[in-house]
Structure 1
Amino acid sequence: MAGQTIQIKTETGKQFSAYLVAPSSGKGPGIVLCQEIFGVNAAMREKANFLAEEGYTVLVPDLFWRSAANIELGYTPEDFQKAYALYQQYDENLGVEDIQDSLTYLQTRPECDMSTGLGVVGYCLGGKLAYLAACRLPEVACAVGYYGVGLENVLDELANLKGRLVLHIAELDQFTPPDARQAILQAASQYSNVKAYVYEDVDHAFARPKSEHYHKPSARFAHERTVTALHDMIGPHYDLVALWEEHIRHEFDTRDVPATMATMVAEPYVNHIPTLTGGVGQSQLARFYRYHFVHQNPEDMKITSISRTVGSTQVVDEFIMSFTHDTEIDWLLPGVKPTGKYVEIPMLGVIQFRGSKLCHEHIYWDQASVLVQIGLLNPEGLPVAGVETAKKLLNEDLPSNTLMPSWNSSEGKPIGEGV
């Protein structure tokens, strides 16, 4: 994403700068992104670009313009001291006014889709400002605050909230000690349009990549919750099933690598969990698809759908893949020569989207079942099964517990009350 620096005029005639970035489609719902105490630095611009990939037009105002215009700080001890000094003298009420001016400006931009509402997202200082903006500015349909500092002191403002509010709280955040966290959670529980989430064993700034406290699983979970709330309140809305089916059509039917890659974000990744095959990034993944996947699958490979769960940002597909092992399949059986055996295996795919593009695939299956079916693993004496795993998925009436030697020993024994 390529953003630009623009100028926003206040009602008093003064102006301050902001970073603006639009989605690849050229237009999307508007979000004001509120900075940490380090200014509109590279990390904040990356956050804006990331949200733009999700389909939003994002504006990041310089909230320190009155005291240190256009300052960009890093995360060294020296820069932290500068940032903390700016934070201590910061007037949050003026900050909300700046968010109001930013929202007003955003609505004038052709890149902003005004058919829906507006959103505010913030981190650290910006997390509290997002909270205050949600409570004070009626045009804010959805606000998200990451580890906002001092929320426990302004909980009474929740009574004025009109839209939806999502709060992400770090369990180990020294700026939000346990008593403060409990007060926030208690207050949030009183409102149906407020959701507060606590992320265990993580600290302040857990969602800032490359930071000392960055925790990728928590950051991803928080982002999914953020985007889900934004989708619900201001859009955009995508048909993820259609997007996913278009992707697999090019993988297995047309076998068209460029068309497959066109369904994905600029830097996607695929991970076939049992065999560690796939690729990370455009170049590596295109190479994988071209030489080790799309043109290498058996001609009779077939997918039988079992179930599908569709969320706001991902699809979880349960299916049976069947094929004749008449060609070497690098991604599924790397280094194994064709055996001519027919194979049926249950699979599970977790398909994540970013905006209208597929972001990543996590594909799971029981590799032991595959090895049993092609004759490379003798199941005798081992707790593994062959084609039975697929057969029982299709017919739950087939016997259970056949691999448990102790199963017959419980026959006729009392089960107990309440069971």
Structure 2
Amino acid sequence: MCDNDIHQGLVEDWSVTRRMFMATGAAVGLAGAATAQAVANVTEKNVTIKTPDGSADAALFHPAGTGPWPAVLMWPDIMGLRPVFREMGRRLAAEGYVVLVPNPFYRNAVAPVIDGTFDFSNPESRKILFGYRAAMSDAAVDHDAAAYLGFLDAQPQVDKGRKAGVQGYCMGGPLSFRTAAVASARIGAVASFHGGGLTTDQPSSPHLLIPKTDAAYLVAVAQNDDAKEPESKTILRKTFDAAGKTATVEVYPADHGWCVPGSQAYNHDAAEKAWAALLAMYRTALA
């Protein structure tokens, strides 16, 4: 992970509230199938998940009722579990999924780990988050992913006869690739939105895990990330082809962070396009 893989600039309103989402649905991307009424009918609860390294706090969402529905693990970006990711989890649950959004930094702090506006141009501020991320070794991520999926499968609302999905934003992109590899028999779909560090020259590069997975992929690339690493999309496409995976790798006309409301880079039209592509993949791969 490097600075270029992380959201850039000032995050002006990271704590987007439920009331704001409900009141301005079209403006922030809640228009469409997940109507305000459907989102309001989602059940949400805070949960604690035992892992080899301790207890992870997380948020669990599912439609009102008994289900069962397919499970989805949603890895947040570098700022972790916070109100806006709760809204994203709630929105996805309204589409008919049981969604778990963990606090990836539970080893260091309970979510939300950032209080107020966050400026990524400040080295001292970045140092805090990078320290949290550094505590997540590849092995630790693998153990966490297995624990999260095990927790999901223990929920009575989850349809264990259907494949599960995993999606991630920013740093969550590589974590999603790792999840698909550690639980290849369980994960049927993987989505990465402005994921950083998907292809590196290290033996631990996430793209090298693709042959070990059994999933369809959606990789939505930010235009400024592509400008910095134009060869990355080609590496991904070649790797998917060689492994015989169903995959879409697309550069979006939006900058890093465009999918997360409240981010300075948030782009409503591009975010809605990515959301529609995600749902289309899940409806096919998790059927």
TM-score category, normalised to shorter length: 0.7 to 0.9
Unaligned runs of 5+ in 1: 236-419
One-letter identity of the residue aligned with 2:187: V
**Other-structure match for 2:85:** 44
> Amino acid of the residue matched to residue 165 of structure 2?
G
Matches of 1:183 and 1:214 in 2, distance apart?
A: 27
Report the counterpart of residue 25 of structure 2 in structure 1: none
Q: Aligned pair 1:98/2:118, yes or no? A: no
The structure with higher relative contact order (CA 8 Å, sep 6+) is 2
Whether the 8 Å CA contact 1:51–1:58 is kept in 2: the answer is yes
The residue correspondences of 1:298-317 to structure 2 (distance < 5 A) are none
Alpha-carbon separation, structure 1, partners of 2:255 and 2:117: 15
Distance 1:219 1:68 in 2: 29
Classify 1:178/1:212 alpha carbon distance in 2 versus 1 (closer, same or farther; 3 Å).
same
Matches within 5 A, 1:95-174: 95-138=141-184, 139-153=186-200, 154=205, 155-173=207-225
| In structure 1, C-alpha distance between the alignment counterparts of 2:127 and 2:271, rounded to whole Å | 25
The Cα shift of 1:88 comes to 4.1
Matched to 1:173, the amino acid is D
Shift of 1:192: 4.1
Judge conservation of contact 1:188–1:196 (CA < 8 Å) in 2: no
**Which whole-Å CA distance do the structure 2 matches of 1:126 and 1:208 have between them?**
12
Q: Deviations over 1:61-104 (max 9, x none)?
A: 22111133334325521555532342344323311211110101
Q: Which amino acid aligns with 1:121?
A: Q
Matching residue within 116, 124, 128 for 1:82: 128
Q: Is the 8 A contact 1:131 1:165 kept in 2?
A: no
Query: For the Cα contact (< 8 Å) 1:171–1:198, is it kept in 2?
Result: no
How far apart, in 2, do the equivalents of 1:143 and 1:152 lie? Answer: 16
CA distance in 2 between counterparts of 1:26 and 1:215 reads: 35
Counterpart mapping for 1:128-277 below 5 A: 128-138=174-184, 139-153=186-200, 154=205, 155-173=207-225, 177-235=229-287
Distance 1:52 1:195 in 2: 24
Runs ≥4 in structure 1, deviation > 6 angstroms? none
Give how far 1:146 is off. Answer: 1.2
Higher mean C-alpha deviation, range 196-205 or range 28-37: 196-205
Q: What one-letter code is carried by the residue in structure 2 that aligns with 1:60?
A: V
- Pair 1:14 & 2:61 matched: no
Say whether the 8 Å CA contact 1:33–1:61 is kept in structure 2.
yes
Of 63, 67, 70, the residue aligned with 1:23 is: 63
Please report how far the alpha carbon of residue 44 of structure 1 lies from its aligned counterpart in structure 2 after TM superposition: 1.1
Secondary structure (helix, strand or coil) at the match of 2:104 reads coil
Measured in 2, the distance between the counterparts of 1:53 and 1:120 equals: 16
Distance in 2, Cα, partners of 1:196 & 1:171: 16
Retained in 2: the 8 A contact 1:174–1:204? no
Instruction: Say whether the 8 Å CA contact 2:146–2:182 is kept in structure 1.
Output: no
Counterpart residue number, 2:23:
none
- Equivalent residue, structure 2, for 1:63: 104
User: Given the superposition, is the C-alpha separation of residues 9 and 144 from structure 1 closer, same or farther in structure 2, using an over 3 Å criterion?
Assistant: same
Distance in 2 of aligned mates of 1:176 and 1:144: 21
Q: 1:71 to 1:200 in 2, by over 3 A?
A: closer
Deviation of 1:131 (Å): 1.2
Q: Which residue of 2 aligns with 1:395?
A: none
SS at match of 1:173: helix
**How many residues are aligned here?**
234
CA distance in 1, matches of 2:258, 2:44: 25
**TM-score between both structures, scaled by the size of structure 1:** 0.52
Counterpart CA distance in 2 for 1:51 and 1:176 is 31
- Tell me the TM-score normalized by structure 2: 0.74
Return the alpha-carbon distance in structure 1 between the equivalents of residues 132 and 226 of structure 2.
19
The within-5 A match list for 1:314-329 is none
CA gap of 1:208–1:75, structure 2 versus 1, over 3 A, is farther
Structure 1 residue 41, shift from structure 2 partner: 0.6
Runs of 5+ consecutive residues of structure 2 not aligned to the other structure? 1-41
Q: Secondary structure at the match of 1:3?
A: strand
- Tell me which amino acid in the other structure corresponds to 1:15: S
Q: Deviations over 1:134-171 (max 9, x none)?
A: 12312111111112211112222211121222211112
Which residue number corresponds to residue 306 of structure 1?
none
Offset from partner CA, 1:310-365 (integer Å, 9 cap, x none): xxxxxxxxxxxxxxxxxxxxxxxxxxxxxxxxxxxxxxxxxxxxxxxxxxxxxxxx
Q: Which has the higher helix share?
A: 2
Report the equivalent of 1:294.
none
CA distance in 2 between partners of 1:46 and 1:190 (Å): 37
